[in-house]
Amino acid sequence: MERPRNVRITFEPYGKRVEVERGITIFEAVTKAGLAIRSECGGLGTCGKCKVRIKDPMSVSEITKVERNILSPEELRGGLRLACQACVLDDCMVYVPPESRIGERKILEVGFEQEVPLEPAVRKIHLMIPKPSLNDVRADYERMIDTLSRILEVRGWQGEKFDEMRISRELLANTPRILREAEWDVTVVLRDEEILEIERGNTEGENYGLAIDIGTSKIVVYLVNFNEGNVIGVSSIENPQLMFGEDIMSRLTFAMRSHENLSLLNKVLVNGINATIGEIALKSGVNRDNIYEAVVVGNTAMHHLFLGIEIKHLALSPYVPAVRDLLSVKAQEADLKINKRGYVITLPIIGGFVGADGVADLLATGLHKSNEFSMLLDIGTNTEVFLGNKNEILACSAASGPAFEGGHIKFGMKAVAGAIERVFIEPETYEVKYKTVRGEKPVGLCGSAVIDVVAGLLRSGLIDVHGRIREKPEVSRIRKVGNEVEFVVAWREETGIDEDITVTQRDVREIQLAKAAIYTAQSILMKRKGIKPEDIKKIFIAGAFGSEISVKNAIFIGLLPEVPEERVKFVGNTAIAGAKMALISKKVRKESREVQKLVNYVELSLDPSFQKEFINATELPHRDLDRFPKVKDYLTKVRN
């Protein structure tokens, strides 16, 4: 008998049921169900992050070779499969375990910012226009402009280019009707020298804009009142492109495969942003038509994908972006659902690896205005490092990998509920205390926790400077599983995943490589500038990751140079803060171009000392212990 074309899948623990075409992968079915599942490889079958449990193994296709390579025999016996490999053949129940869920992540929505004068590009002016008569036969448009000029003059707003006022053909075509229907009582929406809109009655109070930060993993949107310059609504979502890979490279690879893929990535991103705008507008009681501008920042790949720009050359050496300058495009062209004549402004990009979010970070921290040397780090899969002052800023991007975001770590995960975010190891007894996100039962470890574990093990003498975990029979938390040594952070009975949560020798190596990449970037920039850690008066740590890390432990393992701890400042989401500054101030928008010119990009791999620096920095804290005198003192005492 022929099987039915459609099958029903129930996803647990969501209780979500979906009917899908027989034969598609569970990964595809997850999307159709409007859910999300982890993936670092975009469904290529290489990351092993999309594990799901199938209740009835007969309801899905046979186990593939790829799955046999990635999943252990016990996992396979327990019904675990890779969602991107298993195809649904019959009605089934699929359980998404905690480690595979893209949970509600702690998304950092606020950031440090500079005070700026309120000077938005969009202004609204209420006009009471004299009606035409036989004594006054001025044309409708001139009549409106005359009244507008008078009011602008009274308010002291008239710009020198007022003669060049622009209006779209379509709005002009409707102007006679709008003016008469409104009985000559209208509000003109001006954006610099363009009349964007003519609204009935007095709508001066309804003037809004958006600041949007498109991160690789999260999107934050601010709704801003142009009259006051204040944020009246904030909303954030996981970047919906996560389904196509957690890191930028896998998304670029996916987009390069076909034009359809590129449009798909653009579409899911823009749809996600539009849904967020809808939600924030509803919550704040604002009509989307009264949102006239959006300032968008993001890394170079997100910037290009948002605008649907060809990204092939960005993904291939020499990694050239299609455009670096500040852009202003019609919102309608970008498919952004705000006022149909509104605009989207993207801040300038520094280069292929340092995007408009970097410019926004600099604007928000004011690093570019300072006489003193400051450093700014935005830690992620790629870590951007800036070092400089008002005369020049050096920037580079370090391939730090996903370890600090929980990637490539056995029990690694992002800061979702239940993720362990802080760990303290008692140096004498090796007892462990930890703290989880939202205080829930532990289900994995965030990057900040793994840093704490590595620092704790080093402090307790349980690993050496090369990162080797020392096997000590008297320490029950250290054990060998197969060929690998690991440290138990949380015992099975304490966890929410029915197994011990551990940090393995391989995890320690991942952290060593990640921190070495970041330290090397900082050290090469310091060398290029001819300065030492003590010359750096401030280290700003931007981004969500930063807020939970212990500065003491970050220095102890050699992630940050040894500076007085009070010089390190967590500045949160400075990308969104910088975007908001540019939204409400034309001066800042102009400044963003100057910041871009002030920054010189350094290609780390071309520095002759790069390899040596990197290898030396993989040791804990560093092969040259004199760079970390306090840590050296401590370790010397412990060894003796």
Closest to ligand FES by CB, 43 or 380: 43
**Binding of ligand FES at residue 49 (CB under 6 A)?**
yes
Sole window of 5-13, 38-46, 130-138, 594-602 interacting with ligand FES (rule: CB under 6 A):
38-46
Among residues 33, 41, 179, 195, the one that binds ligand FES under rule CB under 6 A? 41
User: What span, in angstroms and rounded, lies between the C-alpha atoms of 412 and 381?
Assistant: 14
Rounded to the nearest whole angstrom, what is the least distance from the CB of residue 37 to ligand FES in the complex? Answer: 8
The conformation of residue 108, written as its DSSP 8-state character, comes to -
The site map against ligand FES for 540-579 (x = CB under 6 A) is ----------------------------------------
Length of the chain: 640
Q: For residues 358, 364, 369 and 370, what is the CA-based torsion angle, rounded to 10 degrees?
A: -100
Structure tokens given for 577 = 């803060």
Rounded to the nearest whole angstrom, what is the least distance from the CB of residue 42 to ligand FES in the complex? Answer: 7
Rounded to the nearest whole angstrom, what is the least distance from the CB of residue 246 to ligand FES in the complex? Answer: 9
Residues 84-103 that bind ligand FES (CB under 6 A): 84
Closest to ligand FES by CB, 7 or 26: 26
How do beta strands 218-225 and 208-214 pair?
antiparallel
- DSSP characters for 239-299? -GGGGG-SSHHHHHHHHHH-HHHHHHHHHHHHHHHHHHHHHHHHHHT--GGGEEEEEEEE-
Residue identified by tokens 């197969």 is 482
Rounded to the nearest whole angstrom, what is the least distance from the CB of residue 502 to ligand FES in the complex? Answer: 22
**Residue 373 identity (one-letter amino acid):** F
Closest to ligand FES by CB, 236 or 250: 250
**Binding of ligand FES at residue 82 (CB under 6 A)?**
yes
Closest to ligand FES by CB, 49 or 422: 49
Count of residues interacting with ligand FES (CB under 6 A): 12
Rounded to the nearest whole angstrom, what is the least distance from the CB of residue 239 to ligand FES in the complex? Answer: 16
The site map against ligand FES for 387-426 (x = CB under 6 A) is ----------------------------------------
Structure tokens given for 447 = 């990057």
User: Is the backbone peptide bond immediately before 117 cis, with ω within 30 degrees of 0?
Assistant: no
**Binding of ligand FES at residue 25 (CB under 6 A)?**
no
Sole window of 42-50, 168-176, 184-192, 588-596 interacting with ligand FES (rule: CB under 6 A):
42-50
**Binding of ligand FES at residue 43 (CB under 6 A)?**
yes
Let me know how many helices (H) and strands (E) the chain has, helices first: 17, 27
**Binding of ligand FES at residue 242 (CB under 6 A)?**
no
The vertex-341 CA angle with 335 and 344, nearest 5°, equals 55
**Binding of ligand FES at residue 45 (CB under 6 A)?**
yes
Q: What is the 3-state secondary structure of 141-199?
A: HHHHHHHHHHHHHHCCCCCCCHHHCEECHHHHHHHHHHHHHCCCEEEEEEECCEEEEEE
**Binding of ligand FES at residue 48 (CB under 6 A)?**
yes
Kindly list the residues in this chain that would bind ligand FES in the complex (CB under 6 A): 39-41, 43, 45-50, 82, 84
